Amino acid sequence: MTDVKIERHGRVLEITLDRPKANAIDAATSKALGAAFQSLQDDAHLSVGIITGGGPRFFSAGWDLKAAAEGEAPDADQGVGGFAGLTEYWDLTKPVIAAVNGLALGGGFELALAADMIVAADHAEFALTEASLGIIADSGGVIRLPRRLPRAIAMEMMMTARRASAQELARWGLVNQVVPGAELMEAARALAQRVAACAPLSLQAIKEVDRACEDASEREAFRRMREEALPIYQSVYASQDAAEGMAALAEKRAPDWKGR
Catalytic annotation on 130?
yes
Catalytic residue among 7, 14, 70, 130: 130
> Is the pLDDT at 1 greater than 70, yes or no?
no
Catalytic residue among 14, 110, 125, 208: 110
Q: pLDDT tens digits for 14-71?
A: 999 999 999 999 999 999 999 999 999 999 999 999 999 999 899 999 998 787 777 6
Instruction: Give CA–CA dist 127/160, Å, rounded.
Output: 9
Q: pLDDT tens digits for 173-226?
A: 999 999 999 999 999 999 999 999 999 999 999 999 999 999 899 999 999 999
Catalytic annotation on 110?
yes
Predicted confidence at residue 81, as pLDDT, reads 94
- Rounded to the nearest integer, the mean pLDDT of the chain is 94
Predicted confidence at residue 28, as pLDDT, reads 93
